[in-house]
Amino acid sequence: MTRSAPVPPPPHHSGEVAPRMDPRFVPRHVAVVMDGNGRWANARGLPRVEGHKAGEAALLEVVAGAIELGVTHVSAYAFSTENWKRSPEEVRFLMGFNREVLHRRRDQMDEWGVRVRWAGRRPRLWRSVIAELERAEEQTRDNTVCTLTMCVNYGGRAEIADAAAAIAREVAEGRLDPARVTERTVAKYLDEPELPDVDMFLRTGGEQRTSNFMLWQSAYAEMVFIDDAWPDVDRRTLWRAVETYARRDRRYGGAVDRPATD
């Protein structure tokens, strides 16, 4: 059966369109910490879960804006390995909510040409959530417009620890020479080894920290922190962040003298 051509996301309701940018200055991979849901809800006299619900539209908007701008990879921090510390009620909601978002939006992502991937640990994660993640991966596996990596039960340190454990097993079983372990070796054992390094790390909600997200991949990422709570974000937020990113001077450890001029 021949797959239909991807359908572009609908335009933004304001009529605004993505800024025209030199592709060299558009990040290939954007990692997003979707923060501020609870504070957004509490400021409106609502329970925290209402903020999570409102954040669903923001995720779709950011994916749409990424497609329109030419960003090829978006990684979203949907549930961290530390989020199990939250109240049982909120954990149950987040598990069910992640499952339902995947179920509701799978066809839409497929229509847009988005490939959905999952990064994270299986232990403790609800089987129904894993099932929806795997269904989304299978249905969208041939899509090439943009890759959305849903990071569910994910932690950057956990990912690196799991990679180290896998490498240690390979060494113990004689399949890998420890003297030949390099950064490239470690990268092959990460959750999603095909992911390119993060170019732009975007966090909403006013906080300025990585919170254990994409630690390995973000070694040279440009950090963009904004005050907007996640439910208030739309594709225009992403576009402004990318314009900020495009003005940065990325040297990757190198430096060039720029003598002062008269």
Separation of alpha carbons 173 and 171, rounded Å? 5
Sign of the Cα torsion 101, 102, 106, 112 reads positive
Per DSSP, the residues of 18-75 read PPP--GGGS-SEEEEE---HHHHHHHTT--HHHHHHHHHHHHHHHHHHHHHHT--EEE
Q: Among residues 83, 197, 228, 232, which one is catalytic? A: 83
- Reading the block at residue 246, the tokens are 């495009």
Estimate to the nearest angstrom the gap between the alpha carbon of 261 and the chain centroid: 42
User: One of 35, 110, 191, 234 is an active-site residue; which one?
Assistant: 35
Q: Is 35 an annotated catalytic residue?
A: yes
State whether residue 156 is helix, strand or coil.
helix
Catalytic positions, please?
Answer: 35, 83
